[in-house]
Structure 1
Amino acid sequence: MENTLFNQVFRDNEGRIVIAQFPNLPLTIGILASLFSLVFTTGKINLALEFLAFGALFTWAWEELFQGVNSFRRALGLVVLVGLMALKIMEVGY
């Protein structure tokens, strides 16, 4: 296999092109908690769901950043991690 930029970015160590994968547990929990927080918009349930969603998505992004199967997945983890931090900073109002 040729060592092109495309291959370095999008192929895993077995030579398969990997852009999307079946969601793992942290991503599934993060998506579900985010959706449920749109249903329960006030109170302690909303606060718990937002906390759970943030923690799960942060975990997913961290895992992708350091254990992603290719450079694209690691970059995706970094983008999501930076995005989560930016959203929290804007939420707090700094």
Structure 2
Amino acid sequence: MENTLLNQVFRDSEGKIVLAQMPNLPLIFWIVASLLKIIFTTGKINTGLDLLAFGALFTWAWEELFQGVNYFRRTLGFLVLVGLMALKIQ
């Protein structure tokens, strides 16, 4: 297999093209917490769920940034991390 930019960006160490994967634990926590925030729209429960969702997505993005299987996944982690910070700053 040629070592082209396209191969480096989208292929993992086994040569498979990886764009999406099964959700890992932080991503599952983020999904569940985000869905529960729809039910609990106010109060301390909503605040706790918001914190849990943020922490879980931050953890997922951090893991992708430093342990992603290819450059696409690492870039995705970086973009989510920057997006999370931008949302918290405003």
Q: CA deviation at 1:3?
A: 1.2
Structure 1, unaligned runs of 5 or more: none
Map of 1:37 onto structure 2: 37
Map of 2:21 onto structure 1: 21
1:89 paired to 2:89: yes
The Cα offsets for residues 13-69 of structure 1, whole Å up to 9 and x where unpaired, read as 110000000000000101110111122110010000000000000000000000000
Matched residues, number = 90
Cα distance in 1 between the residues matched to 2:51 and 2:40: 13
The TM-score with structure 1 as length reference comes to: 0.93
Structure 2, unaligned runs of 5 or more: none
The TM-score with structure 2 as length reference comes to: 0.97
Runs of 4+ in 1 over 4 A off after TM superposition: none
Provide the alpha-carbon RMSD of the alignment: 0.6
Q: CA deviation at 1:6?
A: 1.1
Map of 1:51 onto structure 2: 51
Cα distance in 2 between the residues matched to 1:27 and 1:82: 17
1:69 paired to 2:69: yes
Cα distance in 1 between the residues matched to 2:7 and 2:34: 34
